[in-house]
C-alpha cells in the first residue's frame, strides 16, 4: 500500500484558491444535462466523483466539452434518454452521482444498470428507491435488498405523493427533488422524522431555482414541485468547496500566521461555511469577505466545544481532528449519519485518533475527544475515505510526523490536496 509521510509543520501561511465544490459540481452537471440549451460551467471540480458523473452523461449521449476552466454541457431539455436503449453505468463510490442518476433515469425511456465499488454496494439506497416507486418508478435490486446494484427501467414518473425518511442522508431527498420538475404531475414529498444535513438541501433548492424550477416547502418537512422545464442560466460559476476549505482553515487556526481561502465567503450557499463559526467559538481569529475567508490563531490556545454538527457532517470530521489541539474535551453530537458514508466514519475516526494518543469516547451518534498528553507518531489507515486522509494531515501541526496510508484516495474530491497542503506549510 502506498504511504505518504508528512513532516512536522511549524507554521502555516499563504493564500489558496479552492477547487470547485463536489456537491455543487455534480448537481450542476445533472441540471445542465436536463435543461434546455447549453450551459457553461466554470470552476467545475475535476475529481474522481465528478468524472464518474461526466462519463455517465456522455455514455447516455449528453455532450460534455472541456476548454480551459469551462465545461460546456449540451442540455436535453427533458429526460436524459428517450429511446429504448440499454446502458450499464459504473459510478465508483460517487454517491452524488449514483443517487441523482437513479432518480433521473426513471424519467425517460430505456433500461439502465447502475453499479459501483464494493463499498458503494454497502451504502443504503432503499429510502430513495421506495420513494421513487411511490411516484411510479420501476426499479429492481440486483443484489441485496435496499442496496446497489440497481436496474432502472425508464417509464416516466407519474407524480403524486411520496414519503421518505430524513434521518439517513439528504442525498435521497436531493435526488428526488432534482428530477421532480420533469414528472408527469405535481410531486409532493413528506419527510418522516428530522431531516439531516439541511444546508445541502438548501444548495439543491437554490440551484434548481437558478435553472428555472421552484420548490415549495414547509420547514424542510413537506415539499411540493409542479411540472416544469429546466432552462439553462447560460453561465454557472461553481463555488469553491467549503468542505475542502475546512482543512486549511483548521490549519490556519492552529499554526500562524494564518491562511486565506478564496472561492467561498459570507454569501456562500454551502452549509459547511458555518465551520468558521465553530473555529471562532474555539478562539480563532476569523475575517469573512464576499469571496474569501481569513483564519489565524487567536491570542489564547483553542478551547474545546460542545456542538451539534448534524447540519455539516463533513466539516464535523475536521473538528474531530482539530480537537487534538483544543484545551478540554470536545463533544461532537448528532453525527450518526457518519456511519453510512464512504466508511463507518465514527468507528474509523475514533480508531485513528487513539493511534496518535487521544482519549476518545465513541457513541451511536456522538464523539468525545480529549487531546493526548503527548502526540505519538502514527500510520493512519484511511479506509479508502478521502476525508479521513485529508483530516489526519492536520496531525503534522502537532510537531510530529504522520504517515497517511493510501493517500491517493483523495482523488475522489481533491486530487492534489497534499501538494496544496504542503505548499502552505513550513
CATH classification at residue 105: 3.65.10.10
97-106, 192-201, 244-253: segment of lowest average pLDDT: 192-201
Asked whether residue 268 falls in the same domain as residue 371, the answer is yes
Confidence of residue 121 (pLDDT cuts 50, 70, 90): very high
Asked whether residue 181 falls in the same domain as residue 150, the answer is yes
- Of 205, 237, 269, the residue that ends a domain is 237
Helix (H, G, I), strand (E, B) or coil at 127: helix
pLDDT of residue 340: 85
Pick from 373, 350, 26, 16: nearest CA to 203 = 26
pLDDT of residue 1: 77
Asked whether residue 57 falls in the same domain as residue 10, the answer is no
pLDDT of residue 379: 97
Average pLDDT across the chain, whole number: 96
- Distance separating alpha carbons of residues 15 and 329, to the nearest angstrom: 31
pLDDT of residue 256: 86
- Of 178, 210, 237, the residue that ends a domain is 237
pLDDT of residue 267: 86
The model's pTM: 0.90
Q: Is residue 380 pLDDT above 90, yes or no? A: yes
- Distance separating alpha carbons of residues 129 and 326, to the nearest angstrom: 43
The C-alpha angle 313, 341, 59, rounded to 5 degrees, equals: 115
pLDDT of residue 196: 87
- The percent of residues above 90 in pLDDT, for the chain, comes to 95
- Distance separating alpha carbons of residues 231 and 74, to the nearest angstrom: 12
**Buried b / exposed e along 383-415 (16+ C-beta atoms within 10 A):** bbbbbbbbbbbbbbbbebebebbbbbbbebbbb
Helix (H, G, I), strand (E, B) or coil at 397: helix
Q: Is residue 136 pLDDT above 80, yes or no? A: yes
pLDDT of residue 231: 98
Mean pLDDT in residue range 319-341: 95
For the stretch 233-242, pLDDT in tens is 999 999 999 9
Q: Which residues contact 298 (CB under 8 A, 6 or more apart)?
A: 253, 283, 284, 285
Q: Is residue 371 pLDDT above 80, yes or no? A: yes
Running DSSP on this structure, what letter comes out for residue 242?
H
CA 243 to each of CA 23, 270, 330, 364: distance values in angstroms, whole numbers, following the listed order: 10, 9, 20, 23
Asked whether residue 195 falls in the same domain as residue 256, the answer is no
Asked whether residue 221 falls in the same domain as residue 262, the answer is no
The C-alpha angle 60, 61, 67, rounded to 5 degrees, equals: 115
The tally of domains found in the chain comes to 2
Q: Is residue 280 pLDDT above 80, yes or no? A: yes
Asked whether residue 255 falls in the same domain as residue 369, the answer is yes
pLDDT of residue 421: 97
Asked whether residue 7 falls in the same domain as residue 39, the answer is no
Confidence of residue 342 (pLDDT cuts 50, 70, 90): confident
Asked whether residue 259 falls in the same domain as residue 190, the answer is no
117 burial (CB, 10 Å; 0-12 / 13-18 / 19+) is: middle
- The grid coordinates of residue 316 equal 464535523
Q: Is residue 63 pLDDT above 80, yes or no? A: yes
- Of 237, 264, 286, the residue that ends a domain is 237
CA Rg, the chain, in Å? 21
User: 168: domain range?
Assistant: 22-225+232-237
pLDDT of residue 138: 97
Place of cell 447540519: 311
Asked whether residue 377 falls in the same domain as residue 330, the answer is yes
> What percent helix, strand, coil does the chain show, rounded to 5?
35, 25, 40
Q: Strands, DSSP E only, in 7-68?
A: 12-17, 38-42, 64-67
> Which positions are annotated as active-site residues?
314
Asked whether residue 146 falls in the same domain as residue 250, the answer is no
- Distance separating alpha carbons of residues 206 and 189, to the nearest angstrom: 18
Asked whether residue 87 falls in the same domain as residue 215, the answer is yes
Asked whether residue 175 falls in the same domain as residue 209, the answer is yes
Q: Is residue 152 pLDDT above 90, yes or no? A: yes
Amino acid at each position: 500500500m502506498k504511504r505518504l509521510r508528512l513532516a512536522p509543520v511549524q507554521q502555516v501561511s499563504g493564500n489558496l484558491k479552492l477547487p470547485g465544490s463536489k456537491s455543487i459540481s455534480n448537481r450542476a452537471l445533472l441540471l445542465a444535462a436536463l435543461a434546455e440549451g447549453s450551459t457553461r460551467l466554470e470552476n467545475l471540480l475535476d475529481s474522481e466523483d465528478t468524472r464518474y458523473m461526466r462519463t455517465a452523461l456522455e455514455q447516455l449521449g449528453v455532450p460534455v466539452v472541456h476548454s480551459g476552466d469551462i465545461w460546456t454541457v449540451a442540455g436535453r431539455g427533458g429526460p436524459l434518454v428517450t429511446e429504448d436503449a440499454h446502458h450499464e453505468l459504473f459510478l465508483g463510490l460517487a454517491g452524488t452521482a449514483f443517487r441523482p442518476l437513479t432518480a433521473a433515469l426513471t424519467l425517460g425511456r430505456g433500461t439502465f444498470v447502475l453499479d459501483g465499488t464494493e463499498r458503494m454496494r454497502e451504502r443504503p439506497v432503499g429510502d430513495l428507491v421506495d420513494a421513487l416507486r411511490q411516484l411510479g418508478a420501476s426499479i429492481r435490486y440486483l443484489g441485496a435488498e435496499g442496496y446497489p446494484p440497481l436496474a432502472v427501467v425508464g417509464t416516466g414518473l407519474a407524480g403524486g405523493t411520496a414519503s421518505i425518511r430524513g434521518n439517513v442522508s439528504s442525498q435521497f431527498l436531493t435526488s428526488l427533488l432534482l428530477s421532480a420538475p420533469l414528472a408527469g404531475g405535481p410531486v409532493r414529498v413528506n419527510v418522516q422524522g428530522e431531516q439531516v444535513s439541511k444546508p445541502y438541501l438548501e444548495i439543491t433548492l437554490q440551484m434548481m431555482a437558478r435553472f428555472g424550477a421552484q420548490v415549495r416547502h414547509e420547514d424542510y418537512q413537506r415539499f411540493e414541485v409542479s411540472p416544469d422545464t429546466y432552462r439553462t442560466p447560460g453561465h454557472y460559476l461553481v463555488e469553491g468547496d467549503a468542505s475542502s476549505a475546512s482543512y486549511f482553515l483548521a490549519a490556519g487556526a492552529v499554526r500562524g500566521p494564518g491562511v486565506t481561502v478564496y472561492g467561498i465567503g459570507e454569501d456562500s450557499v454551502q452549509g459547511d461555511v458555518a465551520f468558521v463559526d465553530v473555529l471562532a467559538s474555539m478562539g480563532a481569529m476569523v475575517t469573512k469577505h464576499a469571496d474569501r475567508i481569513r483564519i489565524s490563531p487567536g491570542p489564547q490556545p483553542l478551547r474545546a466545544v460542545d456542538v451539534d454538527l448534524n447540519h455539516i457532517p463533513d466539516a464535523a470530521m475536521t473538528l474531530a481532528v482539530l480537537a487534538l489541539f483544543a484545551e478540554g474535551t470536545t463533544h461532537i453530537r448528532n453525527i450518526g449519519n457518519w456511519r453510512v458514508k464512504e466508511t463507518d466514519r465514527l468507528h474509523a475516526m475514533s480508531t485513528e485518533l487513539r493511534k496518535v494518543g487521544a482519549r476518545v469516547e465513541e457513541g451511536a451518534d456522538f464523539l468525545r475527544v480529549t487531546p493526548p498528553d503527548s502526540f505519538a507518531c502514527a500510520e493512519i489507515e484511511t479506509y479508502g475515505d478521502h476525508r479521513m486522509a485529508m483530516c489526519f494531515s492536520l496531525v503534522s501541526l502537532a510537531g510530529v510526523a504522520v504517515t497517511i496510508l493510501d493517500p491517493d484516495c483523495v482523488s475522489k474530491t481533491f486530487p492534489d490536496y497534499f501538494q496544496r497542503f504542503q505548499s502552505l506549510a513550513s
